[in-house]
Structure 1
Amino acid sequence: MRIDSHQHFWVFNAERDAWITDDMAAIRRNFLPTDLAAVLKSNGIDGTIAVQASQSHEETQFLVDLSTMYAMIKGVVGWVDLQSDEVEKYVAHFSQYPIIKGFRHVVEAEEDPDFLIRPAFLRGIKALTARQYTYDLLIRPRHYDSTLVCVKQNPEQRFVLDHMAKPTIRTREFDEWATFIEKLATFPNVYCKVSGLVTEADWKNWTVDDFKPYIQHVIACFGKQRIMFGTDWPVCLVAATYEDVMKIAGTALTGFSDEDLTAFWGRNAARFYGVEY
């Protein structure tokens, strides 16, 4: 089974989805499973992990409801208010839905570099660990240090780094990012998604070779059993097609055996998220 470990659905709302700016016109509309089904089939992808795109409990329920209608959704990464005094109650409520595999907060939008180590947030992570939920790390460079502290303090929590921490490929930024990746990869409870890269490059003038040093560094640090493929569809459409994103990832997989390729394209994601494989 081949799994896209990172994609989104939404009914576009200009106020709620203000992060989708005017220069992202290609995605300022609704994106639902009916828009994705044919794309998955033509690319040999069997299912997806649907990840939250807005921060509300209603968003989590929206993804759960879609999963009851579309078998392509193999797992949901929702949102829950991890800083709430009632986080345990909220997590317990969502535990009634086996399709929910984990949760995410859009930390990249938080200006506080120490957001991930706020006492209230760490309490929320403990609530996820207690229920064996995963947590997706979506960060920017200002969060590197606190990410390492958060992960170190939660050795029983399963983390996955979204979009390889979004290196600034358009300006060839590498060294600071590479050092962070080396440090994060030393924690065995952390996986990494090879996803979301094309939007960090020059949207109109990228080449496949632009991404290779970044992907190959992640492979060297995390190994072949803790990385997984994801597209970040439909966000990727501002700069590339679904096919382009698959090519970007596939071209960088030098020296992979058939077993390694099976792991990258699906088995690792299934193991991390607890999807029947």
Structure 2
Amino acid sequence: MEAGRAPGAPPAPRIDAHHHVWDLNVRDQPWTHGLAALNRTFSADDLRPALNRHAIDATVVVQTLPTEQETAELLALAAEDLHVKAVVGWTDLADAAVAERLAALRDGPGGSALVGIRHATQSETDPGWLSQPDVRRGLRAVAAAGLVYELLVRPDQLTDAVHAVRGLPEVRFVLDHAGNPVIDADGLSAWTALMTELAASPNVAVKLSGLVTRTIAPPLRALRPYTEVLLSVLGPHRLMYGSDWPVCLLAAPYDEVITLAEALTQDLSAHDHDAVFGDTAGHWYGIGGA
């Protein structure tokens, strides 16, 4: 599933493959309670100056709550916003009518922007949640609809994620935040082994996102080994940049996050750099004709 462009083709858009928006006047975000930096409204207009400063042409907005109403609102945003080109939404995977639910979302305003589904597996107490029969059936329905499934897992759930990717080759997966690794020597070793297993399956890509909030050490030094593993086992054509804005604000503003990602990938060739910052996301989500 390698991304790429034909010789002479115009450059693919630069894509931020992971950000969020929410309006507390419309719906509470309980997970932000106690997080002063996040417990307010964030709109696409709030993000736009940073996107323009860094020549980001397109974005993928990702759900935060397990409600189809939020997904419908994000799709309506995509129908109007000049940057939001794709939506990763939510539906109940365990519902026997998941195919009908997906069809209904696609029939609404902006429905053509629906490119994937995500569930906050990291909030499930069962480390084997992805292996539940009803969930597996739902994942197959996501694939049958031509959509990606995004994996949001804790480190102790990464083994189950590997099993899901390996056991469902017909499903295209994207692992958010590189699996939320523990950023220390022991965490690096265990995570590297699992990422190597995961990378053996061609039906998965990984987001270089969300890592800045997982370390208190200088991020360039702390995250370089993790980026090197991702580039080694996956290659740049299965790795995509995502800011995780505004969650990243817990650790750093947008400008610092993208500058860090650029520094972590500075040794790549121009072609491979383009993959991480646009081509891969364009290929997996169908943005910009990639």
- TM range, smaller chain: over 0.9
Cα distance in 1 for partners of 2:47, 2:225 equals: 30
Partner of 1:11: 23
Question: Which residue, 268, 277, 281 being the options, matches 1:265?
Answer: 277
Q: Assess, with a 3 A threshold, how the Cα gap between structure 1 residues 113 and 13 changes in structure 2: closer, same or farther.
A: farther
In the alignment, which of 212, 215, 229 is matched to residue 198 of structure 1? 212
> Secondary structure of the residue that 2:80 maps to in structure 1?
coil
2:240 equivalent to 1:228: yes
1:91 and 2:105 are equivalent in the alignment: no
Q: Residue 103 of structure 1: CA displacement? A: 0.5
Gaps of 5+ in 1: none
* Counterpart Cα distance in 2 of 1:72 and 1:14: 22
1:139 aligned to which of 147, 153, 170: 153
8 A contact 1:76–1:102 mirrored in 2? yes
- Structure 1 match to 2:224: 212
Query: Which amino acid in 1 is paired with 2:98?
Result: V
Choose from 12, 18, 27 the match for 2:38.
Answer: 27
Deviations 1:52-97 (Å, cap 9, x if unpaired)?
Answer: 0111000110101111221200100000111112112101212331
Partner in structure 2 of residue 37 of structure 1: 48
CA distance in 1, matches of 2:219, 2:88: 31
Is 1:253 the counterpart of 2:269? The answer is no
Q: For residue 131 of structure 2, what is the amino acid of its counterpart?
A: I
Q: How does 1:116-127 map to 2 (within 5 A)?
A: 116-127=130-141
Task: Show CA shifts across 1:126-168 (max 9, x none).
Answer: 1111111001111012212221221122101110110000112
**Which of the numbers 55, 62, 66 marks the counterpart of 2:73?**
62
Please list every run of 5 or more consecutive structure 2 residues that lacks an aligned counterpart in the other structure.
Answer: 1-12
Aligned letter for 1:39? A
- For 1:58 and 1:182, locate their aligned partners in 2 and report how far apart those are by CA, in whole Å: 37
Q: Does the 8 A contact of 1:20 with 1:27 survive in 2?
A: yes
Q: CA RMSD in A?
A: 1.7
TM-score with structure 2 setting the length: 0.90
* C-alpha distance in 2 between matches for 1:273 and 1:150: 20
Contact 2:99 2:145 in 1 (8 A): no
1:73 & 1:159 partners in 2: Cα distance?
A: 21
In the other structure, the counterpart of 1:149 is 163
Q: Identity of aligned pairs, percent?
A: 35
Which of the numbers 107, 110, 117 marks the counterpart of 2:121? 107
Deviations 1:194-236 (A, max 9, x none): 000011112xx53321110011111111012100000100000
Q: TM-score, normalised by structure 1?
A: 0.94
Q: 2:249 aligns with which of 232, 237, 240?
A: 237
